[in-house]
Structure 1
């Protein structure tokens, strides 16, 4: 497993085109839900294509601490048997520390409430990208009959769910983790649950399909209206995770920025939604070869305009809209395109603050407000210049890495362990294509 190290720095020498094939890791956002779902059954669940990244490894560690029997079968395949779950672990300082440091830990709540009728949870951590509310999770639990108590002194949520009853739930926002948590709670609740304004990302579809294989009765998968008939118990299953769409988008942007010829293998193109289209709107050529995406080396790529000639706007939206996790990548990729684009990050108010680093590198960007940035593409007339910088979160970290790979000179990216939280051995894999990234 990838170790959790503090204070990692990447030294990146830019200006080198890459060439070759790269296979995306398993989807991080899917992994965090799927791994928590193993708590719903005492039977064995085998999961393939698990990414070896910090956030996922920490969650596996947390499951082990809870008494789940974890067996590593191969590099990316594990089996989980949650036969003897130790709920007393939730009372320990060790649990408080580990769960508070990992945002994905919030998703153990749904399965624990569904199967055991009670749970405890400290306020979770995660990226510093603005306020991320947990109300959707808790309102859903409450509608199903859970009672919870927040102790402000020790930052703990205590939840009693001994009488879970199916009901109609209209979620206040189409939160992916919120929907996942409520779905996992409802599958073992008595009676029928209807969830409207449900998130319908591929991650969530994968979770629902896996739960159905375990014996759940969920219909409407892939839409924003889910119907769940509660069942008595769930059994074991086997599941293969999708490739990480955020990594795929990152590789497309990286290929364009560094004028590289890259093939992304086994991309599950049918599950990528608008992602290829948005990068094509930036002028990036993509060829779909069976399930691979081939990106030819491009010296120039030009941003499309809207039909009436106005400046293109790219904004995030709930699925099947464009994912907010790739807006940072689109923004950095646009800096060397020809043309202008407005990037509108609706969901998080602190995710665009990394653009000051890109401006220091010579990019032409106007930060209009915390949610919007206008990028004036340089069409490679002025390459970015190398600087020293710090990564604020996972996605900004990779955006800065892409910028550094296209820049003249050697850049330093501190706090690179943020990148390790979401991207598996990224330096090793990119160096195999010809990148020059040194881990310090």
Structure 2
């Protein structure tokens, strides 16, 4: 992607369905008898990989216009290695296959290189529910549940989104009752629970630290619209802060990315909320200010995925800032690209220090990961001259036509 910076952004953006909701919903479709239809899903590389996982275990999974249609049941317990190995979310398919077939074989999940992303909480919780780990060879994961999965009282030692999703998927059709304590509270957890309940599950408390599930023998298909992508909305908001201008974002409730909006307001942007409507307008006309020290955290704190995006917007602020990521130890791989553009940054792994920089200059940079790549695009919008961002395959994992979206707002992108 080639970006010519210095062009303010103006217009309106409709926020698409959230990748971080669509992927667990596709995994959940394995639990359903009948057809599942997910409405308005963007064409993302991670979505296509998830469809390949479903087809690999014998389901019919296809696009129909902007919707996804999945029909089961699964016939095979072995997930395709290539797709399973390339994305973190492939672990979410393990619990539904255990529930339906009593066995799952896969490789350990991959994804962006942003730090350790262990799956021990997933495995420990599944073991408590009756799963057994079998020898599988180097890099392989084999789980069986010869007696089926059963309900359990389980306390997560940390509020992992992925582990909460795995155990929610396992509990939906397990025998008996499950109580999850210390659960993640993210909106994507609520979306997954809403979907499962529409399919016939009985889940209470999603969005709180305690979730209770009454297992059901069978779930049915349904039609469902995944929630809008709060990280996509954060990306557009930070792009406006970096480039200047005024953009209205429709469809995404401001409360879901309130920490980003609050920090942008602190930086000198204007943030206008439209009452109870899922709409917010972000504008930046003057100078940007630093925000001092901020940290990411579990929801409703600042999302780890938003940290590099916010950092990109802060590069030209008139006072220092530092962002600490509490989740991943290598979140700021984009710092090297920032430095190539002339930014004064210091990457200490979990902490990125940002000093005032009067001018950023276009440069050739490489996306280190999904959100780091998007952050480089945001930084390029605020730079003088032309930037070339390599590694677009990372960005395309979570953004469909990001260049077209920004071009429609006035950015010069090729």
Which TM-score band (shorter chain)? over 0.9
The CA deviation at 1:152 is: 3.6
In 1, Cα distance between the equivalents of 2:169 and 2:176? 14
Provide the TM-score with structure 1 as the length reference: 0.90
- Equivalent residue runs for 1:68-83 within 5 Å: 68-75=59-66, 77-83=67-73
The CA deviation at 1:18 is: 2.0
Q: Which residue of 2 aligns with 1:134?
A: 119
2:318 pairs with 311, 331, 338, which one? Answer: 338
Q: Which residue of 2 aligns with 1:160?
A: 144
- Equivalent residue runs for 1:108-257 within 5 Å: 108-153=93-138, 155-163=139-147, 164-257=149-242
Paired residue secondary structure (1:293): strand
Q: Which residue of 1 aligns with 2:353?
A: 374
The CA deviation at 1:301 is: 2.8
Tell whether the 8 Å contact from 1:208 to 1:221 is kept in structure 2 after alignment: yes
Tell whether the 8 Å contact from 1:106 to 1:124 is kept in structure 2 after alignment: yes
Tell whether the 8 Å contact from 1:187 to 1:228 is kept in structure 2 after alignment: yes
The CA deviation at 1:73 is: 3.1
Provide the TM-score with structure 2 as the length reference: 0.95
Structure 2 residue runs of 5 or longer lacking an equivalent are: none
Residue-by-residue CA offset, 1:193-247 (whole Å, 9 max, x unaligned): 1111111100011001111111111111110111111111111222111111011
Paired residue secondary structure (2:52): helix
Residues 97 and 353 of structure 1: CA distance in aligned 2, closer, same or farther (over 3 Å): closer
Paired residue secondary structure (2:374): helix
Q: Does residue 402 of structure 2 align to residue 415 of structure 1? A: no
Paired residue secondary structure (1:50): coil
The CA deviation at 1:269 is: 2.3
Paired residue secondary structure (2:247): strand
Q: Does residue 36 of structure 2 align to residue 45 of structure 1? A: yes
Residues 41 and 281 of structure 1: CA distance in aligned 2, closer, same or farther (over 3 Å): same
2:279 pairs with 268, 276, 292, which one? Answer: 292
Paired residue secondary structure (2:285): coil
In 1, Cα distance between the equivalents of 2:371 and 2:174? 36
Paired residue secondary structure (1:287): strand
In 2, Cα distance between the equivalents of 1:49 and 1:202? 18
Q: Which residue of 1 aligns with 2:331?
A: 351
Structure 1 residue runs of 5 or longer lacking an equivalent are: 1-9, 305-311
The CA deviation at 1:97 is: 2.1
Paired residue secondary structure (1:87): coil
Q: Which residue of 2 aligns with 1:5?
A: none
Paired residue secondary structure (1:338): coil
Q: Which residue of 2 aligns with 1:101?
A: 86
The CA deviation at 1:103 is: 2.0
In 2, Cα distance between the equivalents of 1:16 and 1:165? 57
Paired residue secondary structure (1:274): helix
Count of equivalent residues: 411
In 1, Cα distance between the equivalents of 2:331 and 2:216? 41
Residues 61 and 151 of structure 1: CA distance in aligned 2, closer, same or farther (over 3 Å): closer
In 1, Cα distance between the equivalents of 2:146 and 2:285? 59
Q: Which residue of 2 aligns with 1:394?
A: 370
In 1, Cα distance between the equivalents of 2:77 and 2:375? 41
In 2, Cα distance between the equivalents of 1:183 and 1:410? 46
In 1, Cα distance between the equivalents of 2:340 and 2:77? 51
Q: Which residue of 2 aligns with 1:308?
A: none
Q: Does residue 243 of structure 2 align to residue 258 of structure 1? A: yes
Paired residue secondary structure (2:270): coil
In 2, Cα distance between the equivalents of 1:101 and 1:300? 41
Tell whether the 8 Å contact from 1:198 to 1:225 is kept in structure 2 after alignment: yes
Tell whether the 8 Å contact from 1:25 to 1:424 is kept in structure 2 after alignment: no
Q: Structure 1 stretches (4+) deviating beyond 6 angstroms?
A: none
In 2, Cα distance between the equivalents of 1:252 and 1:122? 37
Tell whether the 8 Å contact from 1:242 to 1:268 is kept in structure 2 after alignment: no
Paired residue secondary structure (1:374): strand
